[in-house]
Chains A and B, each alone.
Chain A
Amino acid sequence: MLLDPLGSPRSFTTFARFLHLQRELERLSGPASTRPPAPEVLAIFAREGALLLRLALPGCAAGDVTLAIDGNAMTLTGHWPAEPESAALLARHVERAQGAFARTLRFAFEIDAARVQARLERGVLEIVVPALPRPSPVRIRVLPEARHN
């Protein structure tokens, strides 16, 4: 992966596999409690210099979700909205997530935060995560050994 040129679809596809592994680790290492599950990554797409993620956020409106970028990390926070009448109703069967959630995804590149785009439609959050361009390589001249008198 390190030898893949940044921005090639292949390197981003490889990184997508890493995201999958990260998700599995989160699932296995998470506490066996009633912590609400984090949004699931449904699909990952790649193109030159960017990834596109789709996450399932059923029931959430745009105002229920916040995205924060810090370097190569993107944190998604929000809450699964409760049904307004839930408190007054008798729950016969419960499977859906409730409460607050947070999920951090770490990327193999610095995120260009100014160009991140997110859209929530039909319970699916679509995020375009562009990479900051790498600085141009700098050739460093190796100086000859200094002479000591």
Chain B
Amino acid sequence: MNTTTRSPPLRRATVRPCVDVLETPEALLLIADVPGADEESIELTLVDDVLTLRATTASVLPDGWEPADAAPGLPGAYERAFRLATDIERDSIQATLENGRLRVVLQKRRPVTHRIAVRTG
């Protein structure tokens, strides 16, 4: 895009991205629409059972254009938090971003079976 990086007089709101949550027996798939965000700006944190997504968009104004005031403007940031009802493998969370769409794969933690010996009295 033909853009510059000077500070634009645009509204830079923080919005909640639209999200789908899909599930398989092994994993949860979270898909979030974050148009305008780039990979470096994506921040995913998992604290206790709360997964928080944050992303920012580039603050750019096309060179030689004047902003019109009718449209809401490209969001400055996206932010949303989710409480996970499922136990997640925290070390295997994977996220990819393509065409402004973020996909997060959260593997479920496999239940650990403890065999308890029963003794006869």
Chain A residues close to B by CB (< 8 Å): 9, 12-13, 16-20, 40-47, 51-52, 54, 56-61, 83, 85-86, 88-97, 119-124, 126
Name 25 interchain pairs, CB-CB below 8 A, sorted by A: A19-B70, A20-B70, A40-B72, A43-B68, A43-B71, A43-B74, A45-B66, A45-B67, A46-B65, A54-B74, A58-B99, A59-B98, A59-B101, A60-B99, A83-B103, A85-B22, A90-B24, A92-B28, A93-B19, A95-B20, A96-B18, A122-B37, A123-B99, A124-B100, A126-B1
What separation, in Å, do the CA atoms of A61 and B11 have in the docked complex?
A: 26
Contact B73 A47 (CB under 8 A): no
* Neighbouring A residues of B35 by C-beta, 8 Å: 42, 56-58, 122-124
Q: A42-B73, A59-B33, A60-B99 are in contact. Are A13 and B68 (CB under 8 A)?
A: yes
User: Residue-by-residue, is B90-109 near A (CB-CB < 8 Å gives 1, otherwise 0)?
Assistant: 00000000111101000000
The count of residues in chain B whose C-beta lies closer than 8 Å to any C-beta of chain A is 37
B31 at the interface (CB under 8 A from A): yes
Chain B residues close to A by CB (< 8 Å): 1, 10, 18-24, 28-29, 31, 33-38, 61-62, 64-75, 98-101, 103
How far apart are B77's CB and chain A's nearest CB, in angstroms? Answer: 14
What separation, in Å, do the CA atoms of A46 and B65 have in the docked complex?
A: 6
Contact A42 B74 (CB under 8 A): yes
What separation, in Å, do the CA atoms of A19 and B68 have in the docked complex?
A: 11
Number of A-B contacts (CB under 8 A): 134
How far apart are B87's CB and chain A's nearest CB, in angstroms? Answer: 16
Contact A91 B36 (CB under 8 A): no
Contact B71 A59 (CB under 8 A): no
Q: A89-B24, A122-B36, A124-B36 are in contact. Are A12 and B99 (CB under 8 A)?
A: no
Q: Which of A47, A61, A95 is packed against the most chain B CB atoms within 10 Å?
A: A95
* Neighbouring B residues of A58 by C-beta, 8 Å: 33-35, 99-101
* Neighbouring A residues of B72 by C-beta, 8 Å: 40, 42-43
Q: Which of A16, A60, A88, A122 is packed against the most chain B CB atoms within 10 Å?
A: A122
Q: A61-B99, A123-B99 are in contact. Are A16 and B71 (CB under 8 A)?
A: yes
